[in-house]
Each structure stands twice: as C-alpha cells, then as structure tokens.
Amino acid sequence: MTKPYLELQGLSKSYDGRTRALDGVDLTAAKGEFITFLGPSGSGKTTTLMLIAGFEAASAGEILVDGAPITHVPPHKRGIGIVFQNYALFPHRTALGNVMFPLEMRKVPKTQAVEKARAMLALVGLERLAERHPREMSGGQQQRVALARALVFDPALLLLDEPLGALDKNLREQLQIEIKRIQRSLGVTTIFVTHDQSEAMAMSDRIVVFKGGRIQQAGTPLEIYNRPVNDFVARFVGDSNLLPLLLTDPTAGIGEIAGIGPVRVPAQPGRKAGEAATLLLRPEGLGLAGEGAINTCRMQVETVVHYGDSALLVGHAGQTALRARLPGLVAQGITSNMEIVLSWNPASAHLMPAVMRDGFQNS
C-alpha cells in the first residue's frame, strides 16, 4: 500500500464528557483519493470533518497529513480547503475577490494572485462572473465559486461538507460530475460528506460509512454495496432483503430460510452446522425462475410499483417479507395477489452475521 497521505488515529470527540460524538475513528487515505463520509445525521461524519479542519479540538487521537501531525495546529495554518454547506462566500467581495482571498492571506503578489484566481474561476467555468457579488449568483454558481476559492491555494486536502444539499436534482448531478472532474485533474485528496447514498456511490473511490460515532465499514462503492459487513450498512446503501438463515451444511454451502426452504449459499468452511446468519439479497438479484433453477421461492405479491424501466414487487414468501425488482418488460403481466416463482444466483447473495430477534446484531 502506498504511503498514506491522510491518517486518522484513534480519533475521539466528546462535547460533554459523557457521550462520545466520535469514538475511536481510524482511517487512512492515499494521495489523490476521493473519499466519501456517508451516514445519517449525528453519525459522526461531520464531527470528523470539523476535527480535520481544526474547528473542533479532538478529545483523543491524532490527525496526520503527509506524515506530519496537525492535531494541534490552529485552523488558519492547516492549509486545508473547505467547501461549506451554505457556501460561506464573503458577501462584500466579488467572485474574483473571494477566490483571491486565500492568496492575499499568503501575501501572493497582486498580479499573480489575480491571474491564479481567474484561472481557477475558468476551471470551474465561471470566468464571466468574476465581477459579480454572491447575491447576484445562483446557488450552483455560488457553489462553484466556493470550490474555486478552496482550491486556488493548492491545499493539502479538500473537504466538502454536504455541499450539494440545497440544490435541485439536476443541478446536483451536474455538479457531482464537475467536482469529480476537477478533483481528478488536480489530484487533490478529497473528503466529501453526505447522507445521500447514491451521491456517495456515484462519486467516490472509497466510501466510509459512519454510525454512532464509529466507522462501520470503509471500502469501494461496490464492496460496500455487494459485501456490507452488517445490516446497518446493507440497509443504508441500496434496497435490501435481509433474510434470517440457518446454516444446515456450512462446508457444502447449504442453508435454510423460513418460508423458502433449503438454499445454496457460498461455502462457509470455518463454520458449524446450526449457526444462524443473515442472507443479504438485493431485490434486483431476484428473477423469474426458469427451467431447473436453483434457489427458488414462491412469492405472494402484495403490491407492484411500475417504474417503467423496472418494477418493484413487494410481498412475502411464507412469513418472510420479500422485495424483488424485475426488468420492466419482464414484469409487465404481474399484478397484486399473484403468486410467482423467483430464483437467484447463489453467488450474487451475501452472507452476513445474524441479526438477533430484538433487532440488534453481533458484529
């Protein structure tokens, strides 16, 4: 593994000495990586960002950038570019004035500063609006100015705190692509905070899922999606069926699901017969059973939602609740109160620790 560029070691934060907003966070990031902090509100993702930025002091732990600890460095000396949720553009300065601000603070000579600032505005496609004040610009334009301002001084890191939350869907998707493109071309290590899982999936090299002040899982988008380590991650990213399963023959890879019967799962050589587990089956992994299909189940369809390109079937097999997503053309004839036979490929399901009866999980 290449030398880590950003390291978080045992980072903890408590505001009142009792509850921990952050509880021992460990993370490394390589230079140029685009990492997304994903999680619900209160999960600790924004707190971690604030600690990295220096606006909050850690209760314990260290933060290292390129090998050097910055844990006790005041925020104005950290050289980290930040894009805030509400942009925080200086209302009394033009777009150009805003972008020039960090260069002025670093005593860059005026002509050079103007040149660099203009170049950065051009990079985000706003060279025409250089003389405008923030209140004369739309939300999307302000966001891009904020980005230019945060990048113009070649920061060690770029932090983005839910920057696209206030924008409408189309604009958001446009800016997601923009941000990714700029980040790629500049190669700056980036941390992006969001609660929107599709945004995280679209933009990240790696996703870090937060819950309760702890990291639940860190991995590539596909890893997070296809092999979540627990039911929280499984449910947070994408739609899921979490089916309680009993391992009847672990070495051969056979288990039993109530209401469905015996199913094939990936072989589990280390485990004992009779152990409980959870099978993660994404709805799109289910298809209409063909001839000689394995892993079949009979599903009572209660509701069908046709999206055009696909259809979501909600129902149950026995007492086990089930959700299936079929391609639109295939699902055309299906209505509620029908019984259909579905099947899935054992390799596309994922085995996870068992979820206990009261909803908690061993992990």
Partner 1 sequence: MSAVPAPARGSLGPWLLLAPLMVFLAVFFVVPLAQVAVMSVSDPEWGLGHYAEIATDGFHLRVLADTFFTALVVSFCCLLLGFPLAYAMAAASPGWAAVMMVVVTMSFWTSFLVRTYAWMVLLGTRGPIARVVEWLGFATPELLFTRFSSTVAMTHILLPYMVLSLYGVLKRIEPSLPRSAASLGATPSSVIRHVVLPLAAPGIVNGLTLVFVLCLGFYVTPILLGSPREQMVAGVIGQQVEEFLAFGEASAMAVVLLASTLVVLGLYHRRFGLDRLWG
Partner 2 sequence: MRLALILLGAVVLAFVATPLLIVVPMSFSTAVSLEFPPPGWWTGYYAAYFGDARWTKPTLNSLGIAAAVAVLTVALVTPATFAVVRHRFVGKGLVNLALMLPLAVPHIVMAIGYYAFLADIQLLQTFPGIILAHTALSVPMAFLVLSANLKGFDRGLERAALSLGASPARTFLHVTLPVLWPGFAAAALFAFVQSFDETVVALFISGRDTETLPRKMFDSIRTTADPVIAVVSTLLFFAVAVLVIVPVLWRAASRRRLEPRP
Q: Per rule CB under 8 A, is residue 74 in the interface with partner 1?
A: yes
Q: What share of the chain is helix, strand, coil (3-state, %, to 5)?
A: 25, 35, 40
Residue 35 interacts with, from partner 1, partner 2, none (CB under 5-8 Å by kind)? none
Residue 136, contacted partner among partner 1, partner 2, none, CB below 5-8 A by kind:
partner 2
Residues 252-291 close enough to bind partner 1 by CB under 8 A: none
Closest to partner 1 by CB, 57 or 258: 57
53 binds partner 2 per the rule CB under 8 A: yes
Q: Which helix (H) or strand (E) holds 62?
A: strand 60-65
Binds partner 1 (CB under 8 A): choice among 55, 115, 174, 328: 55
Q: Which of 4, 39, 44, 102 binds partner 2 (CB under 8 A)?
A: 102
177: which 2 tokens? 């692509």
Q: Is 307 one of the binding residues for partner 2 (CB under 8 A)?
A: no
57, 177, 222, 347: which one binds partner 1 (CB under 8 A): 57
Measured in residues, the chain has a length of 363
Residues 121-140 within binding reach of partner 2 (CB under 8 A)? 133, 135-138
Q: Tell me how far apart the alpha carbons of residues 152 and 95 are, in angstroms, rounded to a whole number.
A: 13
Query: Exposed, middle or buried by CB within 10 Å (0-12, 13-18, 19+), for 204?
Result: buried
Choose between 159 and 277: whose C-beta lies nearer to partner 2. Answer: 159
- 56 makes contact, choosing from partner 2, partner 1, none, with CB < 5 to 8 Å by partner type, with partner 1
15 interacts with partner 1 by CB under 8 A = no
C-alpha 191/C-alpha 6 separation (Å) is 10
Q: Which of 210, 107, 93, 215 is nearest to 146 (CA)?
A: 93
Contacts of 304-309 with C-beta under 8 Å, sequence gap 24+, read: 304/331, 304/334, 304/335, 304/336, 306/331
Handedness of CA 196, 358, 229, 249 (dihedral sign): negative
Give the one entry of partner 1, partner 2, none that residue 163 binds, where binding means its C-beta sits below a cut-off of 5 to 8 angstroms depending on kind. none
Please give the biggest Cα pair distance in the chain. 75
State the minimum distance, in angstroms, from the CB of residue 91 to partner 2.
6
- Interface mask toward partner 2 for 146-175; x: CB under 8 A: ---xx--x----------------------
Minimum distance from residue 75 beta carbon to partner 2 (Å): 4
Among 23, 33, 56, 231, binds partner 1 (CB under 8 A): 56
Q: What is the dihedral of CA 161, 195, 52, 16, to 10 degrees?
A: 110
Return the structure tokens found at 227: 């092999």
62 to 101, contacts with partner 2 by CB under 8 A? 74-82, 84, 86, 88-92, 101
Residue 298 CA to residue 32 CA, distance in Å, equals 48
* Both structure tokens of 204: 């990240």
Q: Would strands 34-38 and 189-194 be described as parallel, antiparallel, or unpaired? A: parallel
CB of 329 to partner 1, least distance (A): 45
Nearer to partner 1 by Cβ, of 56 and 199: the residue is 56
Q: Which residues bind partner 2 (CB under 8 A)?
A: 53-55, 74-82, 84, 86, 88-92, 101-102, 105-106, 133, 135-138, 141, 149-150, 153
Q: Which residues bind partner 1 (CB under 8 A)?
A: 50, 55-57, 74
